[in-house]
Amino acid sequence: MTVPNRNTLWAETLVDELAAGGLSAVCIAPGSRSTPLTVAFADHDDVTVFSHLDERSAAFFALGRGRRTGDPTALVCTSGTAAANFHPAVIEAHRARVPLLVLTADRPPELRDSGANQTVDQAKLYGDGVRWYRDLPEPEADGRKLRRLRTDAARAMAEAVGIPAGPVHLNVPFRKPLEPTEVPGDVPADLAETDPLALQGRDGPFVRTAGGTVDPEPDAVERIATSLGNADRALIVAGPADPPVPDGGIIASLARAAGAPVLADPLSGVRFGSHVEEATVLGGYDAYLGPDRVENLPAPDVIVRFGASPTSKRLRKYLAETTPRQFLVDPAGGWREAEFVATDLVAADPERLARDLAPAIDRDPDAGWHDRLLDLERRHWSLLAAADAPLEGRLLHQVLASAPDPSTVFVSNSMPVRDADRFGRPRTADLTVLGNRGASGIDGIVSTALGAGSATDEPLVLVSGDLAFYHDMNGLLALERCAVDATIVLIDNDGGGIFHKLPIEDFDPPFTELFKTPHGLDFEPTGDLYDLDFRRVGVDGFESAYTEAVERDGTRVLAVSIDAERSHRERERLRNEL
């Protein structure tokens, strides 16, 4: 093996070892300082390279892949503000436990804090928001240092998929030459003989890492089983899942054994799938539960919660007001409960806990509790079916009801995910519904969705608000550059419809100008710019346009203009009627 210089050797060793550890894709933005990494990735047969022009979109694209697969995608950028543009996606990955491997190229250490061009302080740039950070040493053709590099690569991969999974940041300094230029004597010719392990690594990863999962303590299983056994009105709450979205069947089996209905967040992996027939899976609770419903409905006495904090604020408030015994199950022992009413935290792998728990429960469920909730659920769906005023929620209902089986559906913040929550009816189709709920940003939505789509052969649907779409129009370039197809439903209510839900609506000014921010933008030219099929459809023609779009190849945007205020009033009216 002849290597032209130490930078090439260093970058090839790093990339080789990441690939041996299972890395299969990288998103690269152009830049000079990252040249050794870019060239090494481009030369590696086992890593798919996605080329992006804009670091912020690149990072969200990588995030989307990690969200869909549960495996890290790497990111490469040059030094300077490029690295800072990764930050929003790193925050989302941190909060939502999405594996991500960030490689930021840097100038050599003596140039830090010297006024040198494009040199910023990249050390611990993302603060505590990464699972592991390491400032790699300067490249050297030295056996021990190369073995350390291989070890670091193995560790980076392991940390990214640890419990909890999340982002890992390696800062990688290089001094010139950055290109694979021959530098005589830079790499000792006998390195292969003096330290073959450093140079060639092993057959497979340099360090095999075994992570494992947390088994529930038998005491905890017994405590929950006894509680459920004694409960009159038990509930299971499935919040947004950590990636990859699990098969909801195991939670459904637990629900059946416990005789407890499941309140299934649309992002939980439990609301959609064949298991929906096996248990009482409820999806309309955001309409009929809430603090103002407590008097009409008996309070639950035991709750077992999985996943992150539910999307539905009304559900969170309902749990807070009714103060049942609340078991919070978290595989990382995380405290994801911001109402501060949980009574028990159980650090355990959810699937293992559910598996151990189901046979331990001895329970004669109260049919009245089930019937009461099922009745509310049925009435919610029939009211929706009978209503005919324009409603954004109906679009979400139709999107999820007619999404191909299987498919991946990505919903933006803020009304699309909330409307998917309230109006997405549980069905047996294999839908993987995703959203960025770690930090609930409206940035990077297009890119995250396309990243998720790039990681699966399933049809991809993105439902986006107009501000979220505007925020990441750059991301549309990935359709062509990364060969992804999508049906994009653009709910264009000319500004942030979500703000009509807030009391600030009554203070106008400044409501319209500074909160709702109507922009009057016509998004149609994105069709020409990004070579996609852009169509305007009315709410009435939406369903047929959508079912046609999801069945064809290529990307089609269906832009639906709708009045956010009227839609919001209709949303409220439906709930009040219920």
Q: Is 498 in the site for ligand TPP (CB under 6 A)?
A: yes
Tokens of 323: 């103060």
Answer whether 72's CB lies under 8 Å from 99's CB: yes
Q: How far is the CB of 437 from ligand TPP (least distance, A)?
A: 11
Three-state DSSP string of 30-84: CCCCCHHHHHHHHHCCCCEEEECCCHHHHHHHHHHHHHHHCCCCEEEECCCHHHH
Q: How far is the CB of 445 from ligand TPP (least distance, A)?
A: 8
Tokens of 441: 């940003």
Helices (H) and strands (E) in the chain, counts: 22, 18
Neighbours of 229 (CB within 10 A): 16
Q: Which is nearer to ligand TPP, 26 or 415 (CB)?
A: 415
Q: Which is nearer to ligand TPP, 152 or 419 (CB)?
A: 419
| Residue span binding ligand TPP (CB under 6 A) among the ranges 228-236, 259-267, 465-473, 478-486 | 465-473
- Please report, as residue ranges, which positions from 443 to 462 form the binding site for ligand TPP (by CB under 6 A): 443
Q: From residue 4 to residue 43, what is the string marking binding to ligand TPP with x (rule CB under 6 A)? A: ----------------------------------------
Neighbours of 566 (CB within 10 A): 15
Alpha helices per DSSP H over 391-516: 392-401, 415-423, 445-454, 466-471, 477-481
Q: Is 465 in the site for ligand TPP (CB under 6 A)?
A: yes
Positive or negative: CA dihedral 477, 436, 265, 382: negative
Supply the DSSP string of 162-201, one letter for each residue.
SSS--EEEEEEE--S--SS---TTSS-TTHHHH-HHHHH-
Q: Which is nearer to ligand TPP, 349 or 472 (CB)?
A: 472
Q: Looking at 73, 432, 493, 567, which residue binds ligand TPP (CB under 6 A)?
A: 493
Answer whether 332's CB lies under 8 Å from 306's CB: no
Q: From residue 400 to residue 439, what is the string marking binding to ligand TPP with x (rule CB under 6 A)? A: ------------xxxxx-----------------------
Tokens of 86: 């990764």
Q: Which amino acid is it at 497? A: G
Q: Is 497 in the site for ligand TPP (CB under 6 A)?
A: yes
- Please report, as residue ranges, which positions from 261 to 290 form the binding site for ligand TPP (by CB under 6 A): none
Q: Which is nearer to ligand TPP, 262 or 489 (CB)?
A: 489
Alpha helices per DSSP H over 392-454: 392-401, 415-423, 445-454
Q: How far is the CB of 71 from ligand TPP (least distance, A)?
A: 26
* DSSP 8-state symbol, 561: E
Q: Which is nearer to ligand TPP, 424 or 441 (CB)?
A: 441
Answer whether 555's CB lies under 8 Å from 488's CB: yes
Q: Is 468 in the site for ligand TPP (CB under 6 A)?
A: yes
Q: Looking at 85, 440, 474, 547, which residue binds ligand TPP (CB under 6 A)?
A: 440
Q: Looking at 441, 453, 459, 475, which residue binds ligand TPP (CB under 6 A)?
A: 441
Q: How far is the CB of 422 from ligand TPP (least distance, A)?
A: 13
Q: How far is the CB of 505 from ligand TPP (least distance, A)?
A: 12
State the number of binding residues for ligand TPP (CB under 6 A).
18
Neighbours of 534 (CB within 10 A): 19
Q: Which is nearer to ligand TPP, 281 or 557 (CB)?
A: 557
The residues binding ligand TPP (CB under 6 A) are 412-416, 440-443, 465-468, 493, 496-498, 564
